[in-house]
Amino acid sequence: MAFSQVKPLFLALLILCMSILVSCHSRHFTPPIVTRLTDLFPHVSINNSFYKGFGVSNIQLTGNGFMATLSLDKASGSGLVSKNKYQYGFFSASIKLPSGLSPGVVVAFYLSNADVYPHNHDEIDIELLGHDKRNDWAFQTNIYANGSVSTGREEKFYLWFDPTEQHHQYSILWNSHHIVFLVDNIPVREFPRNSAFPSVYPLKPMSLYATIWDGSQWATHGGKYPVNYKYAPFVASFADMEMSGCISSNPTGSVCSKSNPSSLDPVDGQEFAKLSNQQVVAMDWARRKLMFYSYCKDLPRFKVLPPECK
């Protein structure tokens, strides 16, 4: 083969390799070592702890009720909702995301009370957004308080692994001190409670949800890359569910009974009042290496930044 033929082939291979590196850029990092909070709390039976909220035919329970697959097809998405409402607690799931092209697909693990407070609800969200043609899956966090749906507090991250190859742990710590989002026990975001602006902090009892659904209208640049059902069904697997904390005995009030087999109490325990030095270092690593959007830096969106950003 002549050199003139080899050179274009070499350039084509180089461009291909570079595109792979860009699309998989987040997989080259080694995360810091941190305390594994997920080891401190028991796994719960999905069968005993959740209702099938919607898309019942697209939900399959396995592993004696401790694992579930949720599917999205052209007919419906699917979702689970916890039987209990929680005032505070630690919530975690090991999730394996759908493989292949998945623009517009949203897999969510979140707390909400929109069923009780449709016009004044709270929400703490983990949303995994299917990639478009240029990006990997994105990890989005969001917080709403007292119905502030027009002022969501989003932050977005890339992951340092391929979330479609195996299960990874996604966790929320919510107590009277702060909200912390974690991936494989690495804190990626902390939202402290601040008495100076109490209305922005979720305080009302919430249910825990696990869902997969079509987010074409907003998840990929305003619908630029909608779900392509040629690749359906899109299947997400949930396992190792953890829900430990303050179970609310009054969905519209603050009375709750603490139900937590662990000796640690994620509601009031000092072990969870603030991040350890090790966790602070790990969170700084995640935010420097992986965060690509924060509402606190979105000046075109906010003429006046939300108070906690200052």
Q: Which positions are catalytic?
A: 123, 127
**Cβ(159)–Cβ(137) below 8 Å:** yes
CA distance 81 to 77: 14
E strand intervals along the chain = 50-54, 59-62, 67-72, 78-96, 105-112, 123-129, 138-144, 155-158, 168-174, 178-183, 186-192, 206-214, 234-248, 256-259, 291-294
**Cβ(307)–Cβ(214) below 8 Å:** no
Asked if the peptide bond before residue 306 counts as cis, ω within 30 degrees of 0, the response is no
- Give the SS3 label for residue 174: strand
CA distance 243 to 113: 16
- Give the SS3 label for residue 82: strand
CA distance 135 to 97: 15
Residue 292 identity: F
- Give the SS3 label for residue 3: helix
Q: Name the phi and psi angles at 150, rounded to 5.
A: -85, -5
CA distance 280 to 214: 35
CA distance 10 to 129: 34
Q: Which two tokens stand for residue 162?
A: 């391929």
**Cβ(291)–Cβ(156) below 8 Å:** yes
